[in-house]
Structure 1
Amino acid sequence: MRRRTLLAASVVAASAAAGAWAYESTRPVVVPLAVPSVPPGPERCELRYSKARGTTVDFYTAVPAGHGDGSGLPVCLVLHGGSKRPADFEGLGLGRFLTDAVNRGAAPFVLAGATGDRLAWQPDGRDDPQRMLHEELPVWCAARGYDTGRLAAWGWSMGGYGSLLLAEAFPRFVRVVAAFSPAVAPGDAVFRDADRLAGTPVGLWCGRSDPLFGNVRALRRELPDEPMAGTFGPGKHNFDYWSTAIPAAFAFIAARLSGVTPSPA
């Protein structure tokens, strides 16, 4: 059955600290969308036919500047929300965020994403975006020389839900999950199978003014292990908020993909 998400979303910019779970002030704050002013590395977006989905999808990859074609680098799968597609990622500045993270000391990795449409990253009849993530996207990435033995998953809104769902459906498939304002609800598949996240490092971010905040907070209580990164800080369900979490999320992902445990914030 098709699962409709409560809100649509997407991503772009700014600053935060990686590490242990933290709570922040609820004081209102206005955060501008600001893409780091650094050059991106190679970014590509091309069309691929997905057998799992039975349609042609965007296939996006980004390599941090200074790391050639990305050969040998681990991969972070990017699961979009309801309002963006991989063809939008370059314009959102994801490649610049990636280079900025590496410039700040994060171990390099590659971003890779494909179109999941509005299916909440789960099967809908013969259309199965989750199978595309699990079976096809790693093959496409391996063909470019990336290290698909080291995978992470990161998503926002509907994509945050999908990232957690992917890690539950295939334990140990990804080494780490970062979810921004995941579109979860008590009783849904992510809640029901939360125990399957045991042993998988999870980063969980959500703004306190987000309509989903109560659900995300409830999910945090259901997780088998305390989140290893993330904040419940000032913000809504939009890029102005998510932009503040990208640096922390990328540092968290990089550390786990490289086998380094980040220090507490």
Structure 2
Amino acid sequence: MSSRRAFLAGGLGVAVPAVAGVLTGVLPDGPALRRFLGLTGPAGEIPRVTPGPSTVERVSSVARGRTLDLVITRPPGAPTDLPVCLALHGRGVGARWFLDLGVPQFLAAAALPFAVVAVDGGSSYFVAATPGDDPQRMLARELPGWLAERDLPAPSAVLGISMGAFGALSLARTRRDLRAVAVAAPALFTTWAEASGRDAFASQRQWAEEEPLRHTDALAGTPLGIWCGTEDPFVDAARTLAARTRPALAAVTSGAHDEDYFRRVLPDMLAFVGEHVTAPPKPGGGG
């Protein structure tokens, strides 16, 4: 008998109010139990459509001191002069991850009129945690040139998932001309104790300088979309982000911190970006 079935069979004598309390998160480990029971919502599915062209190229980054993957995905039959949305990946993966998540198919299925560009950002939350490796400088100084060489403009929107959400919000602090910022399962930290366990920041001072939750005023005026699952360990940080900003959209629904959830919300994230990058700019910028 599987551990899940054994739990269900053995737990029939548990008082119903106690079980209900755990499942709704009132008692400790409610989200963990829902994950164990598979009560985290349906898995997102990649649509069965013919995707547009995607390219994977190797580019040399002086800022990061290494050669990186540059992934560009366009919708089918689109012109070359498309708006660009930068996609920032999670920790432990790279730019090609967005191909695995189904971005080419999601773009094609929705006929969204923009390109998605991803580039390897390392594992330090897109901050310069070690000498000679500066992902932010790469995004600000080198990426626009790589795109210009390929007849694409600088990104006008950014989306990020998990660690990539940290990077997207950090980029939005300096790129006030962004038309949209979309983040899912944002890996943000309310305290240094939480952040230090990631072994991704050079010091507490660097974390405090970079942590998006400490600089939410810099996001004012930029259309922001936030998605997070109720079983995600970062859900409290996502709620804090929503409370401290005025997001155009905030959706906290059942879901864990996994690719099933990421694929479920990616269509909504891309639609949010498409709505803003194709709309006429408002007076004074900010989308």
TM-score (structure 1 length as normaliser): 0.80
Instruction: Name the structure 2 match of 1:143.
Output: 149
Q: What residue ranges of structure 2 are gaps of 5+ in the alignment?
A: 1-23, 26-33, 192-207, 282-287
Are residue 163 (structure 1) and residue 168 (structure 2) matched? yes
- Runs of at least 4 residues of structure 1 off by over 6 A? none
Q: What residue ranges of structure 1 are gaps of 5+ in the alignment?
A: 1-24
1:94 to 90, 103, 113: 103
Instruction: Name the structure 1 match of 2:137.
Output: 131
Q: Percent identity?
A: 36
Q: Name the SS of the counterpart of 2:213 in structure 1.
A: helix
Flag the structure with larger Rg.
Answer: 2
The residue type equivalent to 2:91 in the other structure is: G
Instruction: Name the structure 1 match of 2:71.
Output: 60
Q: Quote the Cα distance in structure 2 between the aligned partners of 1:190 and 1:135.
A: 21
Q: Quote the Cα distance in structure 2 between the aligned partners of 1:259 and 1:248.
A: 17
Once the two structures are superposed, what CA deviation does each residue of 1:88-135 show, in whole Å capped at 9, x if it has no partner? Answer: 332332111111121xxx4x0001011011010111222111111112
1:81 to 65, 90, 115: 90
Instruction: Name the structure 1 match of 2:62.
Output: 51
Instruction: Name the structure 2 match of 1:179.
Output: 183
2:242 to 216, 220, 223: 220
Aligned pairs for 1:202-217 (under 5 A) are: 202-217=224-239
Q: Quote the Cα distance in structure 2 between the aligned partners of 1:179 and 1:236.
A: 15
Contact 1:46 1:58 in 2 (8 A): yes
Q: Quote the Cα distance in structure 1 between the aligned partners of 2:109 and 2:174.
A: 32
- CA offset at residue 229 of structure 1? 2.0
- Between the two proteins, the alignment pairs up a number of residues equal to 227
Change (3 A) 1:91 1:240: closer
The residue type equivalent to 2:249 in the other structure is: A
Whose helix proportion is higher, 1 or 2? 2
Q: Name the SS of the counterpart of 2:126 in structure 1.
A: coil
Once the two structures are superposed, what CA deviation does each residue of 1:155-214 show, in whole Å capped at 9, x if it has no partner? Answer: 100001110111013322x22100001100125520111100011000000001111111
